Amino acid sequence: MRIEWTYLRRYVIITSKCPRKDIDYMAKKNSKRRFTLVELIVVLVILAILAALLIPALTGYIDKARKSQVVAETRMLTQAVQTEMSTLYASNEYATLLKVGKNAFTAAAKGGQPVFDYERQLTSLAERYNAIVKLSEVPSLSDGSGSFFAVANYKCQLKWVVYSDGKGYYGVYCQADGTVTGYSNKEVTGYETYYDTNIGKVICDVTADVTDPDEPVPWTKTAVYYGLGLLN
């Protein structure tokens, strides 16, 4: 049964003889507070300002975290590639590779497909690639979503490792600087296009030792960064 407050108020005053000021206080306390349109607009504006401030900061934090992750995975991959290359250099097969190759040869290849046609008689390329993937313990390489290519000199000393996690982030190991740097796909634009024939392979090239940026060879720092799209 619903009793209007006006009538209840009169009843309380008459029957209980409560002071009028107490009745007024009770009436105010029980009244419902409603937001005005202006107040709602102010709240929405404040929320919009907070979102504008927090979203870029959150996005930047996520980007930094993913770059740190891809750097860590590139380091693991680099160690695995160098281990396999050192094993190759100490093996009898290395002499065979030198005879087959001219200025460059493929040391490892996903699926066993070498870069150069004259290397088709080599049979250990896929096994070496699989050994690198297993040794690196990089999840994206194990499940096939990620990829990489690497370049060494003729003594199997590693010079470059370029790794893609398959999620829009890249790690680049540069032996000349001794650094591993993470990039997003907004920065690296030439991995899949410029280096499409190198992806999934480890290549030994006599020109990998060249550091002069004016030399017309593919593995100087300037040449690689240009190919990746890091130099405009």
CA–CA separation, 24 and 222 (whole Å): 82
Confidence of residue 34 (pLDDT cuts 50, 70, 90): low
Please give the tally of structural domains in the chain: 1
Phi (first) and psi of residue 231, to 5 degrees? -115, 125
Higher pLDDT, 161 or 215: 161
Proportion of the chain above pLDDT 90, given as a percent: 55
**Is residue 22 situated within a structural domain?**
no
Measuring CA to CA, which residue among 214, 73, 50, 197 is closest to residue 137? 73
If you search the block for the tokens 């979203």, which residue do you land on?
55
Q: What is the pLDDT of residues 48-76, one digit of tens each?
A: 887 777 777 666 778 899 999 999 999 99
Total-model pTM? 0.76
Tell me, yes or no, whether 103 lies in a domain: yes
Contacts made by residues 162-167, CB under 8 angstroms, sequence distance 24+: 162/191, 162/195, 162/224, 162/228, 163/70, 163/73, 163/74, 163/77, 163/138, 164/191, 165/69, 165/70, 165/73, 165/140, 166/140, 167/66, 167/140
Does residue 33 belong to any structural domain of this protein? Answer: no
The H helix count followed by the E strand count for the chain is: 8, 6
Read off the pLDDT band of 12 (50, 70, 90): very low
Mean pLDDT of 7-30: 50
Q: Is residue 156 part of a domain?
A: yes
- What residue numbers bound the domain in which 127 lies? 57-228
5-16 vs 20-30: helix crossing angle, rounded to 10: 150
In a domain, 188, yes or no: yes
Residue 64 lies in a domain: yes
- What band does 219 get if pLDDT is binned at 50, 70 and 90? very high
Answer yes or no: is 7 within a domain: no
The Cα–Cα gap between 181 and 174 comes to 9
Instruction: Determine the pLDDT at residue 49.
Output: 82
For the chain, give the mean pLDDT: 84
Alpha helix locations (H) across the chain? 5-16, 20-30, 37-89, 93-100, 125-136, 139-142, 191-194, 221-228
Tell me if 115 is assigned to some domain: yes
- The secondary structure of residue 33, as a DSSP letter, is P
Alpha helix locations (H) across 144-229?
A: 191-194, 221-228
| pLDDT tens by residue, 112-160 | 888 877 666 667 899 999 999 999 999 999 999 999 999 999 999 999 9
